[in-house]
Amino acid sequence: MGTTEDGPVGRDHPGRRGEATLQAIAERAGVHVSTASRVLRQTEPTRGWSASAQRVIAAALELGYRPNRLASSLRTRRSDTIGVVMPRLADTVIATICQAIESAARSAGYQVLLTTPPDDMGAQLEAVDFLLSRQVDGLIVSSLHLSARTPRLAELPVPIIATNRHPGDWMPAVVGDDVEGGRIAAEHLLALGHRRIGVVAGPRHASTAVERVAGFRLAHEQRGIPVDDALVVHSDFEVEGGVVGAHALLSSVDPPTAIFAVNDTAAIGVMGAARQRGLRVPDDLSIVGYNDISIVAQLPTPLTTVHSPTGRMGAVAVERLLAARASGTPDGAVLPVSLVVRSSTGPVRS
With beta carbons less than 8 A apart as the criterion, state whether 117 and 84 touch. Answer: no
Orientation angle between helical segments 33-41 and 51-63, nearest 10 degrees = 80
CA 246 to centroid of chain Cα atoms: 27
7, 164, 327 from 137: Cα distances, Å: 21, 21, 13
Angle of CA points 91, 96, 98, to nearest 5°: 95
The SS3 assignment for 336 reads coil
Report the distance separating Cα 51 and Cα 319, nearest Å: 30
**Would you write out the chain's pLDDT as a tens digit for each of its 350 residues?**
333 334 333 333 344 444 578 888 889 999 998 888 888 776 666 677 888 888 988 888 888 876 655 445 444 456 789 999 999 899 999 999 999 999 999 999 999 999 999 888 889 889 999 999 888 999 999 976 665 667 778 778 899 999 998 887 888 999 999 999 999 999 999 999 999 999 999 999 889 999 999 999 999 999 999 999 999 999 999 999 999 999 999 999 999 999 999 999 999 999 999 999 999 999 999 999 999 999 999 999 999 999 999 999 999 999 999 998 767 789 999 999 999 999 999 999 87
Orientation angle between helical segments 22-29 and 51-63, nearest 10 degrees = 130
The SS3 assignment for 242 reads helix
The region that residue 95 occupies, defined by phi over 0 for left and psi between -120 and 50 for alpha, beta otherwise, is alpha
Question: Which residues are within 8 A (CB) of 280 and not within 5 positions of it... i.e. 6 or more apart?
Answer: 274
Handedness of CA 126, 324, 80, 143 (dihedral sign): positive
| pLDDT number for residue 213 | 98
Domains of the chain, CATH where assigned: 2-73 (1.10.260.40), 77-175+311-334 (3.40.50.2300), 178-308 (3.40.50.2300)
| pLDDT number for residue 76 | 45
C-alpha closest to that of 14 among 1, 26, 31: 26
With beta carbons less than 8 A apart as the criterion, state whether 335 and 345 touch. Answer: no
| pLDDT number for residue 8 | 37
Q: pTM for the whole thing?
A: 0.78
| pLDDT number for residue 9 | 36
Torsion of CA 25, 29, 30, 32, to 10 degrees: -50
Report the distance separating Cα 104 and Cα 314, nearest Å: 8
| pLDDT number for residue 156 | 84
Paired with 286 in beta bridges are 258
